[in-house]
Amino acid sequence: MRRATAPEIQLGMCVTSVYEGGFVGIQVDAFGEHESGVQPMEALHPYGFEGRPVDRDDSKAGCSAMYWWDGDDGHVIALGSSTHPDVFSELQKGSSRQYAAWGAYFHLDHANRRAHLYVPYDGGTKAHEVLVDTVANTISVSHGDGITSVVITDDRVTLRATRVDVEADDVRLAGGSKQVACVGDLVAVVIPALATAAGPVAAVNPLAVTSTGGTSAVGQIISGRSNVKAG
């Protein structure tokens, strides 16, 4: 039986790329020149992943590649890039990371058992982040402006924000399935003695004088905000 000749794998740099018919083609500097003139080769990827490097710049920095020929057909796999973002933390053993040229990345941290999504914006001066920490058993979502964040634990959700808007026809507290009062609802109120109804509640239909001297009534929420005592 005749054995097939193994292809000769070579190393080079990605010069440019194309996207045609759902497939990525990468041109490499096959003859050691920046503009080698070689037609884009079929790019191969690990299963479940697809990537397309940025074009090589004038400084000849960019993404390395390994390529080989099968007859007249060329095949290429893009490798590491010399222009990857400088915001990366050290990659620990057993970890992996997917990144884009503009600085966004998804880091699976084996040592700390964490998954970290980092998405910069505003010229890289700010970034939105999602952190899943299996050691602390938390999920955190942070806005790049540093004001709003959500932290989820096994029994609590902590929301930090200057304002929270809830748009829903029916809002309920899960503990006892109690409905949260909304603008337009009728609620039981107590009007303090020697004082008029102030704030968001307009009093109607007085019922009785309470032991504190106030008057119980039924009121309708017409506007305003609610304050929740921190636990």
What's the domain count of the chain? 3
Is the same domain home to 143 and 181? no
Is the same domain home to 126 and 151? yes
Is the same domain home to 77 and 139? no
Nearest to residue 182, comparing CAs of 162, 167, 203? 167
Is the same domain home to 50 and 71? yes
Structure tokens at 79: 């490798």
β-bridge partners, 128? 119
Q: Across 82-225, where does the E strand assignment appear?
A: 96-99, 105-109, 114-121, 126-133, 138-142, 149-152, 157-160, 172-173, 178-179, 186-191, 201-209, 215-221
Q: Across the chain, where does the E strand assignment appear?
A: 10-20, 23-28, 41-43, 63-70, 73-81, 96-99, 105-109, 114-121, 126-133, 138-142, 149-152, 157-160, 172-173, 178-179, 186-191, 201-209, 215-221
Is the same domain home to 112 and 153? yes
With tokens 């504190």, the residue in question is 212
- The dihedral over CA atoms of 187, 191, 196, 197, expressed in degrees to the nearest 10, equals -20
pLDDT for res 119 = 94
Q: Is residue 4 part of a domain?
A: no
Is the same domain home to 149 and 184? no
pLDDT for res 175 = 62
Q: Is residue 204 part of a domain?
A: yes
Q: Is residue 226 part of a domain?
A: no
Q: Is residue 167 part of a domain?
A: no
Q: Is residue 166 part of a domain?
A: no
What span, in angstroms and rounded, lies between the C-alpha atoms of 150 and 143? 9
Is the same domain home to 125 and 155? yes
The residues, any chain, with a CB within 8 Å of residue 195's CB and separated by 6 or more, are none
Q: Is residue 68 part of a domain?
A: yes
Q: Is residue 87 part of a domain?
A: no
Is the same domain home to 18 and 51? yes
Domain of 204 in residue numbering reads as 172-221
With tokens 């039981």, the residue in question is 188
Is the same domain home to 76 and 20? yes
Count CA atoms closer than 13 A to 115's CA, side-chain side.
7
- Which residue, 29, 49, 81, sits at the end of a domain? 81
pLDDT for res 71 = 84
- Which residue, 36, 58, 81, sits at the end of a domain? 81
Is the same domain home to 151 and 181? no
Nearest to residue 10, comparing CAs of 20, 36, 23? 36
Q: Provide the residue-wise pLDDT of the chain in tens; the chain has 231 residues.
A: 555 677 888 888 888 889 988 889 999 887 655 555 678 889 999 888 888 888 887 666 678 899 998 888 889 999 887 666 667 778 889 999 888 888 899 999 999 999 999 999 998 889 999 999 999 999 999 999 988 999 999 888 899 988 888 787 777 766 655 666 666 677 666 666 544 444 544 444 444 545 555 566 766 666 655 544 443
Amino acid at 125: T
Q: Is residue 135 part of a domain?
A: yes
